Amino acid sequence: MSNRNFQRLLAAKWAEGKFLCIGLDPIHDKLPDFLKTGNISKELFEFNRDIIDATFDLVCAYKPNTAFYEAFGDAGILALQRTVDHINTVAPDVPVIIDAKRGDIGNTNQRYCEFVFDHLKGDAVTIHPYLGREAVQPFLDYSEKGIFVLCRTSNPGAGEFQDLRILKTETVPLYLQVADNVSRSWNENKNCGLVVGATYPQEIGSIRAVAPEVPFLIPGIGTQGGDVEAAVKNGRNSDGTGFIINSSSGIIFASSGPDFAEAARKKAYGLNHEIRAVN
């Protein structure tokens, strides 16, 4: 177990007025040509390194999605590990959310925890709730880590299951039941959060009503079309904090030339300003 505490790291960034998370999801074909040397691991890492060095003073977190690294096998995993190590070195006060969307039976989840937290040294992880609390308990037991549970995702087909109405004392959509369970019974260690997509701002508001103080990780800003103002107004808690706005390709691929890191900084600076300007 690490001495780093995700909740404290995140709260410190919110106190600085920082709510932007950059998704470090490098698509190899989109990397600047001058970085392509034939060494995949080196290329992915150096791209991420330059983005991080240009933006770490603007963000509240970074979020690498493991799929963009796993696709390249050992070389990709090495790049991911080097990326997390670099963040921890140059910006040790910036937490790292490993976007892995894990979820299985408890014994398997324990192995996922060991990879994400003990090997990669991530500060938080995304998981799905389908197997229930009993199965995800290994994640919840990492009390100093952040556990972001998929609730109302940003993709167009999210409603196929998430909007299905279930009967408890009254009929509610499944995503609201997930939010209620996470907020009321999963969050004993105060380390749970919810993933709620910016492309569904009304649903963000209804989830906030059910989970008034749980942190929200809000993807879908930028290329997916989510609105910053609506996401912030519906996602913030009673203190005006409690949310993380994530943008990935809209920032990291702002330019494909030698100025890609500078262009990423400009995009990050602009989005950070837009978030903070919401009244």
Q: How far apart are CA 204 and CA 215, in angstroms?
A: 12
* Alpha-carbon radius of gyration of the chain: 18
| Residue 207 to residues 136, 140, 177, 192, Cα–Cα distance (Å) | 21, 20, 9, 14
Active site residue 63: no
Strands in the chain per DSSP E: 20-22, 61-62, 97-102, 124-127, 146-152, 165-167, 171-173, 192-196, 216-218, 243-247
Q: How far apart are CA 111 and CA 73, in angstroms?
A: 18
Nearest residue to 130 (alpha-carbon basis) of 149, 111, 145? 149
Check 13, 18, 63, 101 and give the catalytic one.
Answer: 101
Q: How far apart are CA 235 and CA 126, in angstroms?
A: 18
Structure tokens of 240? 């005006």
Angle at which helices 133-140 and 106-113 cross, to 10°: 20
Catalytic positions, written as ranges:
101
